[in-house]
Amino acid sequence: MALTNQSTGLGALKEMFQVKMDSADDVVIALAGNPNTGKSTVFNDLTGLNQHTGNWPGKTVTNAQGSYRYKNKKFILVDLPGTYSLMANSVEEEVARDFICFGKPAVTVIVTDGTCLERNLNLVLQIMEITSKVVVCVNLLDEAKRKKISIALDLLSKELGVPVVGTSARNGKGIEELKEVVYQVAQDGIQPEPVRILYSEAIEKAIEMLIHALDSAVSKSLNSRWLALRLLDEDPSILEEINRLLGFRLLEDQSILQSLDEARLILNEKGICQDVVSDHLVSRIVCRAEELTEAVVTVHNKNYNQFDRKTDHILTSKAFGIPIMIGLLGIVFWLTVQGANYPSAILASFFRWIEEKLVLLFASAAIPDWIHGILVQGVYKTMAWVVSVMLPPMAIFFPLFTLLEDLGYLPRVAFNLDNFFKRACAHGKQALTMCMGFGCNAAGVIACRIIDSPRERLIAIITNNFVPCNGRFPTLIAMATIFIAGTSAFSSFFATLAVLGVIVFGVIMTLLVSNLLSKTILRGLPSSFTLELPPYRRPQVGKIILRSIVDRTLFVLGRAMMVAAPAGLIIWIMANINVNGTSLLSCGAALLQPLGNALGMDGYILMAFILGFPANEIVIPIVIMSYLSAGALLDLDSMAALKDLLISNGWTWLTALNVMIFTLLHFPCGTTLLTIRKETQSIKWAVVSFLIPTGAGILVCFLLTQIAKLSGLA
């Protein structure tokens, strides 16, 4: 998941790919591989924490980049999207293919899963057709050993004709050797000679004819054999890319066109039509992978995957699959709610201690009241709230969630839920993108790239906001704790149940809206769906904690604080500048009051949601600041103080419930909307993504409030 800092870079052709180079001597390395092969672990092992993200032009695909030094050379590692193939033309596959093809990396390292080599060799063989500068990294050798699978790496290297390095990246084993081999290949110390995959006689003849014409036309810039294969395959997307990136229209070259016609003629004479050629090209590689696997892999225990099968029988069973899923989610939330209380309180009192010192400092320096107000009551307090309320739950939630991810549980979630999505005419992998949305909706929107069909990808993007992101959890948790949980011994249990209820409601809304979209503006039938259920892995707990805190928690927190500081300033000003005796904030709230009433909330709350547009984290701080006439946050050392404040401003359980629902169902935050615009390349879909959840929220809150009032419940 690309959820780190943004950056841009320079370089010749690399400029288009935003590869950040310090000097022309830097060596660019591409890192390819199937998903779930531990590719990111290899990446992290090689680069340490030294990474940032870049953008792919036109397609705006973020890919992580990092660098490392070896033998006085700087290596820049570009992490390509995880793909099974380069032939099926999903966005991610095109990105990976284009970078290997046009990005001209000095070396392409292909990370493979030692426990599932055959599946992985497909990609290796496909990449070897494009470039000879390949190093194969057979990873997860520790898992393979545990499953009693042995792999003859030397033989594999000989059969492939390229260097093969065995690693268990999770323990850092083999990484030094990988660095050395990559260095050698980059410096031409080792010159890989990929063993060519031979196709049928007729096709080989056709290839020969095309290579001749291509060699003189495109010179050495692209592998002409591979290009010939793609021409025979009639792959339109590669022709487009060549035109876009190299400014060369392949089929406008008379000699190429002529030889293509002649090649087709030969094939037709042999009775080989276009479809057969394409099938042959794909199948031949798959069969070669099978041959290789038979030669190099020995399985000592035929039942090596019994554990996985048994686990799947439970985790995806008819009776337990869905209950276990909801249960696990519940446990994650319960641990988050329960575990966050204590550190939150400590952080809050720590920040209050600093605040007292600040007040003294400001007083002794005779700084004017309004500066003190803006800086301490506005900026400082808002930031302190955001940190003390957000940091503990995130520091618990993200590692727990990463743990599930690392175990290999998330694809099972997609498997369990697929039928619901199919009935909504949506894609099963949408469940995976929703899981990402729990962390951050913008990341969830980016994750939608794993969905091939544009229609289903749009549905997933538009509905991603129906899963509450990390910025909205504190609001949900606070509301549930104060108004729903009560004060019984099981309060955190009830709070968890309430939050879980909201999330299930969000999932139902996702399905309903997906279905509605499929029947209206995004009409269509579900596209093809293939999902791998990768082997379960023993997670590396230490690494998970480190990475999820560094990569996710601190990043999200940093973003929230960047927004909270100026927001605190603006809100303080709005609360303290008076027009005709009322503050700007109150004026705005008065304007929104009728709508707020109809929705079972009030003008201040709606105002807070609107002002919280840059980041949802600050909604509750704004509500609190608005209620306090001083226009500053009160000391939130206890939830009781917050409850008193809210009740004295007319809150009931219905208000809290409406706030929870509206937190779930309202416009996405600014960052998410920008990401949607970027990903869809259209303002229209960003607007749709804004209107649909907002409309749904207004509708649901309105109906709920009116029903509750009419039936005398509130």
Partner 1 sequence: MKKTLIPLNLLPIGRHGRVNRLIANGSVKRRLLDMGFTNGTRVEALQQSPSGDPIAYQVRGAVIALRSEESSLIIMEALLQEG
Residue 118 as a binder of partner 1 (CB under 8 A): the answer is yes
Residue 38 as a binder of partner 1 (CB under 8 A): the answer is no
C-beta of 313 vs 357, nearer to partner 1 = 313
In the complex, least distance from residue 240 CB atom to partner 1, rounded to whole angstroms: 16
In the complex, least distance from residue 160 CB atom to partner 1, rounded to whole angstroms: 18
In the complex, least distance from residue 307 CB atom to partner 1, rounded to whole angstroms: 13
Contact 479, 543 (CB under 8 A): no
Please give the Cα distance from 473 to 556 (Å, whole number): 13
Among 148, 249, 313, 538, binds partner 1 (CB under 8 A): 313
Of 499, 529, 294, give the one whose Cα is nearest residue 397: 499
Residue 166 as a binder of partner 1 (CB under 8 A): the answer is no
Residue 312 as a binder of partner 1 (CB under 8 A): the answer is yes
- Would you tell me how many other CB atoms lie within 10 Å of the CB of residue 192? 21
Q: Measured between alpha carbons, how far is residue 76 from residues 79, 137, 163 in Å? A: 10, 17, 20
Residue 293 as a binder of partner 1 (CB under 8 A): the answer is yes
In the complex, least distance from residue 457 CB atom to partner 1, rounded to whole angstroms: 15
C-beta of 422 vs 523, nearer to partner 1 = 422
Residue 409 as a binder of partner 1 (CB under 8 A): the answer is no
In the complex, least distance from residue 297 CB atom to partner 1, rounded to whole angstroms: 9
Please give the Cα distance from 111 to 127 (Å, whole number): 12
Positions 509 through 528 that interact with partner 1 (CB under 8 A):
526, 528
Residue 286 as a binder of partner 1 (CB under 8 A): the answer is yes
C-beta of 140 vs 478, nearer to partner 1 = 140
Among 31, 117, 238, 462, binds partner 1 (CB under 8 A): 117
- Tell me how far the alpha carbon of residue 242 is from its chain's centroid: 29
In the complex, least distance from residue 533 CB atom to partner 1, rounded to whole angstroms: 4
Quick one: tokens of 537? Answer: 């892995």
Of 175, 156, 239, 221, give the one whose Cα is nearest residue 42: 175
C-beta of 316 vs 672, nearer to partner 1 = 316
In the complex, least distance from residue 323 CB atom to partner 1, rounded to whole angstroms: 9
Q: How many residues bind partner 1 (CB under 8 A)?
A: 44
Please give the Cα distance from 586 to 622 (Å, whole number): 12
* Residue 208 identity: E
Residue 382 as a binder of partner 1 (CB under 8 A): the answer is no
C-beta of 357 vs 422, nearer to partner 1 = 422
Of 172, 136, 170, give the one whose Cα is nearest residue 154: 136
* Binding characters for partner 1, 322-351, by CB under 8 A (x = yes): x-----------------------------
Contact 237, 94 (CB under 8 A): yes
Of 565, 548, 546, give the one whose Cα is nearest residue 387: 565
In the complex, least distance from residue 415 CB atom to partner 1, rounded to whole angstroms: 5
- Would you tell me how many other CB atoms lie within 10 Å of the CB of residue 673? 21
| Residues whose CB falls within 8 Å of the CB of residue 196, separated by 6 or more in sequence, listed in order | 225
Residue 318 as a binder of partner 1 (CB under 8 A): the answer is yes
In the complex, least distance from residue 245 CB atom to partner 1, rounded to whole angstroms: 23
**70 forms bridges with which residues in the sheet?**
73
Of 245, 203, 199, give the one whose Cα is nearest residue 222: 245
Q: Measured between alpha carbons, how far is residue 287 from residues 128, 163, 274, 279, 302 in Å? A: 15, 21, 20, 12, 21
Residue 530 as a binder of partner 1 (CB under 8 A): the answer is yes
* Binding characters for partner 1, 414-443, by CB under 8 A (x = yes): -xx-xxx-x-----x---------------
Helix H, strand E, coil C: the string for 400-414 is HHHHHHHHCCHHHHH
C-beta of 38 vs 428, nearer to partner 1 = 428
Residue 239 as a binder of partner 1 (CB under 8 A): the answer is no
In the complex, least distance from residue 129 CB atom to partner 1, rounded to whole angstroms: 14
Specify the length of the chain in residues: 714
In the complex, least distance from residue 706 CB atom to partner 1, rounded to whole angstroms: 35
Please give the Cα distance from 631 to 627 (Å, whole number): 8
Contact 307, 148 (CB under 8 A): no
Choices 272-280, 391-399, 482-490, 579-587 (CB under 8 A): range interacting with partner 1: 272-280
C-beta of 220 vs 300, nearer to partner 1 = 300
Residue 532 as a binder of partner 1 (CB under 8 A): the answer is yes
Among 246, 404, 531, 545, binds partner 1 (CB under 8 A): 531
Among 50, 221, 274, 283, binds partner 1 (CB under 8 A): 283
The secondary structure element, H or E, covering residue 579 is strand 578-579
Q: Could you give the 3-state DSSP secondary structure of residue 108?
A: strand
C-alpha atoms less than 13 angstroms from C-alpha of 616 in its C-beta half-sphere: 28
In the complex, least distance from residue 88 CB atom to partner 1, rounded to whole angstroms: 5
Q: Could you give the 3-state DSSP secondary structure of residue 122?
A: helix
Among 152, 245, 358, 533, binds partner 1 (CB under 8 A): 533
* Residue 8 identity: T
In the complex, least distance from residue 109 CB atom to partner 1, rounded to whole angstroms: 21
Angle between helical axes of 321-364 and 381-407 (0-180°, round to 10): 150
Choices 104-112, 183-191, 281-289, 545-553 (CB under 8 A): range interacting with partner 1: 281-289
* Residue 14 identity: K
In the complex, least distance from residue 82 CB atom to partner 1, rounded to whole angstroms: 14
Residue 609 as a binder of partner 1 (CB under 8 A): the answer is no
Burial class (CB in 10 A: 0-12, 13-18, 19+), 189: exposed
**164 forms bridges with which residues in the sheet?**
136
- Would you tell me how many other CB atoms lie within 10 Å of the CB of residue 252? 9
Among 224, 316, 553, 626, binds partner 1 (CB under 8 A): 316
Choices 287-295, 353-361, 562-570, 659-667 (CB under 8 A): range interacting with partner 1: 287-295
Q: Could you give the 3-state DSSP secondary structure of residue 159?
A: helix
C-beta of 317 vs 681, nearer to partner 1 = 317
In the complex, least distance from residue 422 CB atom to partner 1, rounded to whole angstroms: 6
In the complex, least distance from residue 529 CB atom to partner 1, rounded to whole angstroms: 5
State the pairing for strand pair 149-151/297-299: antiparallel
Quick one: tokens of 145? Answer: 């050993």
Among 1, 60, 70, 85, binds partner 1 (CB under 8 A): 85
* Residue 207 identity: I
Contact 551, 3 (CB under 8 A): yes
Point out which residues bind partner 1 (CB under 8 A): 84-85, 87-89, 116-119, 122, 275, 278-279, 282-283, 286-287, 289-290, 293, 308-309, 312-313, 316-318, 321-322, 415-416, 418-420, 422, 428, 526, 528-534
